[in-house]
Structure 1
Amino acid sequence: MEARDPELKSELNATLQARSELGPEYESALIDSFLEKVDQRLDVTLDRRVRRHLAEQQTMVARGARTPPAPLGNFGERFGFGVVSLILAVPLSAIGAANAGIDGLVVAWLGIVGVNVAQIARSRPLFRRSEERTKSDWEG
């Protein structure tokens, strides 16, 4: 077993040694004790990572950099939206063509394309003013 944390490895060895000395009737208490130590170690590690991440964000903000926006929707959401859009395109096309002929069909498809373009624009804005590069005092 390759352990990253020698302290936890020694705690595990001590727990196993105590179990062999005390017997199986204390096994539950020994395991609970060891898991509590692992939980404490995880809490310390997680706290350290969160503090480091917050410090990095504060540093970026202090330097004037904008944190990147969270992505709006993952691949599954975008794919699902496209599939639903195509499925709904069939009855919308039929309704538009049946009621208004070719003009109704064109209006239905313009609406479908418009909704999909709006979805793309929501997830990827075309113009991002905060990302425009400005010259600093060091550049002439």
Structure 2
Amino acid sequence: MKRELISGESPYEDIVGFSRAVRVGPYITIGGTAPTDTNGNTVGIGDISLQTKQCLETIKIALEKAGSSLKDVVRTRILLTNIEDWKVAAEVRASYFRTIKPVDTIMQVSRFINPDWLIEIEVDAIVAT
């Protein structure tokens, strides 16, 4: 199967050596998506709601570039630096996935490479054929 690399334009892609998303056949994996704009600037410093939305908007764009959409998402993983933020992050997530209902994992991590990031989100999608 063909392997397609999808860029998110993040300056971290070359530093770390990653793609925003990778598609192999009908499978799309999107790794830890931080609350950054395309210039690498943190969006919504101190605001878990805005940061969650930014992550999901970045993911949505990556899925579209991969020929997919949010409706193809089968799993999300929410990584938080403060587990107490889970409910607000989950409410924002629900606004994107309320009818799609992919499986989900929510966990706390000690920190991210940028201390202003409160959240990263990962998703897996399978494009229906």
Q: Normalising by the residue count of structure 2, what TM-score does the alignment of the two structures yield?
A: 0.23
Q: Which protein, 1 or 2, shows the higher relative CO under an 8 Å CA cutoff with sep ≥ 6?
A: 2
Higher helix share: 1
Higher strand share: 2
Larger gyration radius, structure 1 or structure 2: 1
Q: Normalising by the residue count of structure 1, what TM-score does the alignment of the two structures yield?
A: 0.21
